Structure 1
Amino acid sequence: MTDTPLLQIENLSTHYGAVQALRSVDLTVHAGEICAVLGANGAGKTTLLRTVSGLQPAAPGSRVRVGGVDVTRSPAEDMVRHGLAHVPEGGGVIVELTVEENLRLGGLWRRDRRDRARALDEVYALFPPLAERRRRPAGTLSGGERQMLAIGRALMARPRVLLLDEPSLGLAPLVTRQIMRLLHDLRERTGLTVVLVEQNAASALSVTDHGVVLSQGAVVARGSSAELLADDRMRHAYLGF
């Protein structure tokens, strides 16, 4: 792990009309780390990922850097070329397409066909259930398998940073634990850097290195995952467990 952050967010603010949704958020994530973004519904977690990935414009004075490169004003469609991949809440798989067709969409921008083929093989090795169902429509997958597919499609772009929004949403507790173990194993096997937005704070903190807690668009706490878990006041006030 180097001293230079792979993802550096400074003074990040944004508005929805007259409403300020993020307020001067700072966040630093190094290569190979998993960082949790926690908070209640409406705290600004999803807005943070949308603003980092260019889907929501950042306010003047905000800065987002990936590997030292300022990407704050880059359009969303260019973010993948800077090394960012965003899996939105719900995954967003195309249910009419097969599993493999969904995966191939994630690598379309890459010109090297051999590398696209290698990336596909790597995703199937990471997620054997997807390999077994590659010819099936995505709509036939279980909730956990769809989440695997959404993550696998993002990995087809070979990102340096994966922005992952609420991967446990709507899933049974057992499947949620499987998804969290999957993220841990993915980091161990590939060194991928992950920013994880998650409503299930206890589950997220079990696999992350550190995190921030948002309330009304502002950071109200930050620290290692162990520190956040041990802070009873913070857990009761903002994390709901």
Structure 2
Amino acid sequence: MTEPPILRIENLSTRYGAVRALRSVNMTVRRGEICAVLGANGAGKTTLLRTVSGLQPPDPGSRVLVDGTDVTRLPAEAMVRHGVAHVPEGGGVIAELTVEENMRLGGLWRAGRRERGAKAAEMFELFPPLAERRTRHAGTLSGGERQMLAIGRALMARPRVLLLDEPSLGLAPLITRRIMRLLQDLRAGTGLTVVLVEQNAAGALSVTDHGLVLSQGAVVASGSSGELLADDRMRHAYLGF
């Protein structure tokens, strides 16, 4: 029997009042893949992640399935229990809490106290700069360190699918490359599946298996990362490189 995709999106539509933000989006991501979601500002990329993660309700007729289970319209906390973690644009760390307190918050839904401690130690090993700053308030971190903390906090929930929104936003190229390598290492080491929203389309396609391109809430192209990179018309029209 063929294993179901870890994430399947069928006919996903979403609106904000009278404005249609997503239009019948279909998408399939298999276990251990990294999938890019690309497009210009306002294309619907962030809305797609918010809808999948339970933060934004979809229109009737939409379906989101995780490992074959229909999770459409489940609230965000229930999606974490189903193995979906969402790192929003900007990371969303709590500046007033310490690095360690932020980290442990990520494990509240899926881990006991002892397991949270062990998982936090694993995250500090994965992100050495955070280990050195574990007692500092998150508001004192650099942009790159905050992004590491946001990813580490999401990984505390032991997700099967990581939804990652614009991790390179505002970061130096060196830090961006480090984060992209981290995603590849996590996929290779743990089989983590990643859906990566990125404004930096060329950088995203260099580390992903496949992707789709959104324009005005609809899918205008999809395929392997190599195919999308080779499509000059699509790149110039929608991705700006």
* Structure 2 length-normalised TM: 0.97
2:53 maps to 53
Q: CA deviation at 1:141?
A: 1.2
Matches for 1:85-96 after TM superposition, within 5 Å: 85-96=85-96
Matches for 1:217-236 after TM superposition, within 5 Å: 217-236=217-236
1:177 maps to 177
Paired residue secondary structure (2:186): helix
Paired residue secondary structure (2:54): coil
Paired residue secondary structure (2:196): strand
1:138 maps to 138
Matches for 1:53-92 after TM superposition, within 5 Å: 53-92=53-92
Quick one: distance in 2 between partners of 1:189 and 1:106? Answer: 20
Q: Which moved more, 1:152-161 or 1:113-122?
A: 113-122
1:156 maps to 156
1:12 maps to 12
Q: Which moved more, 1:109-118 or 1:11-20?
A: 109-118
Q: CA deviation at 1:131?
A: 1.1
Question: Relative to structure 1, is the Cα distance of residues 111 and 91 closer, same or farther in structure 2, using a 3 angstrom cutoff?
Answer: closer
Q: Which amino acid aligns with 1:171?
A: L
Quick one: distance in 2 between partners of 1:217 and 1:188? Answer: 32
Quick one: distance in 2 between partners of 1:57 and 1:180? Answer: 30
Q: CA deviation at 1:192?
A: 0.7
Quick one: distance in 1 between partners of 2:168 and 2:102? Answer: 20
2:100 maps to 100
Contact 2:164/2:194 (<8 A) preserved: yes
Q: CA deviation at 1:4?
A: 1.6
Quick one: distance in 1 between partners of 2:167 and 2:6? Answer: 22
Q: CA deviation at 1:3?
A: 3.9
Q: CA deviation at 1:48?
A: 0.2
Quick one: distance in 1 between partners of 2:120 and 2:173? Answer: 29
Quick one: distance in 2 between partners of 1:110 and 1:10? Answer: 27
1:29 maps to 29
Paired residue secondary structure (2:28): strand
Identity %: 82
Query: Are 1:129 and 2:129 matched, yes or no?
Result: yes
Contact 2:106/2:153 (<8 A) preserved: yes
Q: Which moved more, 1:209-218 or 1:124-133?
A: 124-133
Contact 2:11/2:23 (<8 A) preserved: yes
Paired residue secondary structure (2:37): strand
User: What is the RMSD of the two structures over their aligned residues, measured on CA atoms?
Assistant: 1.0
Q: Which amino acid aligns with 1:219?
A: V
Q: Which moved more, 1:104-113 or 1:189-198?
A: 104-113
Uncovered stretches (5+) of structure 1, i.e. residues with no partner? none
Q: Which amino acid aligns with 1:33?
A: E
Quick one: distance in 1 between partners of 2:105 and 2:229? Answer: 38
Q: Which amino acid aligns with 1:127?
A: F
Paired residue secondary structure (2:15): strand
